[in-house]
Amino acid sequence: MTMWSVVGIAAVLVYFLGISWQVALVCLAVLTVIRLTPVALSLVGSRMSGRERMLVGALGPRGTAQSEHSLGRQSVSVL
């Protein structure tokens, strides 16, 4: 959810600052195709359908969240 909020803010900045369409296209590619490709490649040979692979790629954790998930740690709330 936060990522798409950042995308929305970036879209407003693109509109007001006049950033080129090429930059906007690269940003969109990073959020979609480039993000989903490694997941799809890692699931080749699994019994998952193409649709299921895309779902895992779109909804799967990334970055620090992936590290925490891989280690099996649970979130700890403060106060």
Phi, psi of 74 (to 5 degrees): -105, 155
pLDDT value of position 10: 77
What CA–CA distances, in Å, run from 33 to 14, 16, 69, 77? 21, 26, 23, 34
Tens digits of per-residue pLDDT, 33-65? Answer: 877 888 888 888 989 898 888 888 887 766 656
Structure tokens at 35: 């993000």
What pLDDT is stored for residue 40 in this prediction? 84
pTM above 0.85, yes or no: no
Q: What 3 state SS string does 24-66 have? A: HHHHHHHHCHHHHHHHHHHCCCCCCCHHHHHHHHHHCCCHHHH
Element (H, E) at 33: helix 33-42
Instruction: List the chain domain ranges.
Output: 1-31, 34-68
